[in-house]
Amino acid sequence: MLDDIIKAYNEAVFETDRDAAFEVVNGALDRGLSPEDVVFKVVIPAVEEMMAGITRNPDQNLAQHFMTAQIAAEVTDEMLKRFQHPPEVIGRVVIGTAQGDLHSLGKRIVMGCLKALMVEVTDLGVNVPAERFVDEAVAHDAQVIAVSAMMVHTAMGEQGCRRVRELLHERGLEGRVKIVVGGAPYRFDDQLYLQVGADGWAADGIAAGRMIVDLIKSTKAEHQP
Ligand code: B12
């Protein structure tokens, strides 16, 4: 059954047919597939296939890629509403895309993974100033600030993660709040997260979920009386 669903979903997004994609997803739910499986076994692999397509042929139709990303984001948002509600929250994360960066899909996927792992997530959206990351982390009593950056200049620039690190330092919050980063530039250089002052990074949503849960647990343990 799963193979048929994946094939039908991939055909729909290849045709950039949003309604057909939703029909496939709703049909899959009717046939008993869980919202979690829709995201992790159907939507994410389709996005990964799109990314592999771009690597193979950078001249591929950008509109098609954009629609694949848009459809994936919409389906993910719908499925997240139906994810099993966690009985107990492990910790809290504020997440956003760095200042100057409007890429949102990777962040959404990370959010989905975190929610599935019982982490409370506050989405700050895209183009988020460093000050806002820190203010919101304090307001939500978050253990982790998650900064997504898809472009080299937003990953490495002075207004992104580096500035968040400076602000945490200035406000004496470094023990209480950790910073994690992710996005294409970090996949190209797996040491880049250290250069920009982050505590951790991950290459995909699933690894991000695991890494952030570990960081929340260790941060909470350090602060237990
Ligand atoms: C889709 C896309 C767009 C869409 C974005 C739609 C949207 N709503 O998000 C649109 C068309 C709008 C777009 C615009 C632009 N884009 Co664009 N875009 C892409 C593309 C093709 C895919 C990005 C994507 O969605 N990937 C799919 C998701 C699932 O993967 P992901 O984002 O990497 O996220 C995963 C991991 O990285 C990780 N992760 C992500 N965030 C985080 C955060 C944390 C904390 C953690 C732990 C993990 C984590 O987990 C995620 C899930 O597995 C990439 C190419 C690529 N190969 O990445 C270019 C790319 C990022 N774009 C690029 C560029 C240049 C642009 C534009 C400047 C183009 C232009 N000339 O206008 C604009 C910039 C707009 C802006 N100011 O932000 C360049 C950046 C180059 C560079 N070296 O800086 C890329 C790399 C394309 C290229 N090869 O040139 N883009």
pTM of the model: 0.82
pLDDT band for position 62 (50/70/90)? Answer: low
The reported pLDDT for the residue numbered 179 is 98
Phi, psi values for residue 16, rounded to 5°: 50, 40
Our CA angle for 47, 53, 54, nearest 5°, is: 95
Distance 150 CA to ligand 1 centre (A): 5
CA–CA separation, 18 and 25 (whole Å): 11
The reported pLDDT for the residue numbered 116 is 65
Q: Of 63, 82, 101, at which residue does a domain stop?
A: 82
pLDDT in tens, 143-173: 999 999 999 999 999 999 999 999 999 999 9
Tell which one of 110, 145, 150, 151 to mutate to probe ligand 1, the residue whose CB is within 8 A of the most ligand atoms: 150
The reported pLDDT for the residue numbered 140 is 97
**Ligand 1 atom nearest to 206, measured from its CA:** 53
Q: Are residues 109 and 7 in the same domain?
A: no
Q: Are residues 54 and 119 in the same domain?
A: no
| Closest residue by Cα to residue 110 from 218, 213, 209 | 209
CATH assignment at residue 181: 3.40.50.280
Q: Are residues 112 and 217 in the same domain?
A: yes
Q: Are residues 78 and 121 in the same domain?
A: no
Crossing angle for the helix pair 62-82 and 2-14, nearest 10 degrees?
140
- Amino acid (1-letter code) at residue 105: L
Q: Which domain holds residue 24?
A: 2-82
The beta-strand segments (E) located in 42-168 are 91-97, 119-123, 144-148
Using CA atoms, how far residue 84 sits from 48, 88, 124, 146, in Å, is 25, 12, 23, 23
The reported pLDDT for the residue numbered 51 is 67
Ligand 1 contacts CB of residue 103 (under 6 A): yes
The reported pLDDT for the residue numbered 225 is 55
Q: Are residues 77 and 173 in the same domain?
A: no
First to last CA, the chain: 51
The reported pLDDT for the residue numbered 68 is 77
Mean pLDDT of 185-203: 96
The reported pLDDT for the residue numbered 47 is 77
pLDDT in tens, 127-145: 999 999 999 999 999 999 9
**Ligand 1 atom nearest to 202, measured from its CA:** 47
Q: Are residues 73 and 142 in the same domain?
A: no
CA–CA separation, 108 and 103 (whole Å): 10
Total structural domains in the chain? 2
CA–CA separation, 6 and 50 (whole Å): 14
pLDDT in tens, 82-126: 877 554 678 999 999 999 999 998 898 888 778 767 788 999 999
Q: Are residues 101 and 170 in the same domain?
A: yes
Distance 151 CA to ligand 1 centre (A): 7
**DSSP state letter for 150:** -
pLDDT in tens, 38-58: 988 998 788 777 767 766 776
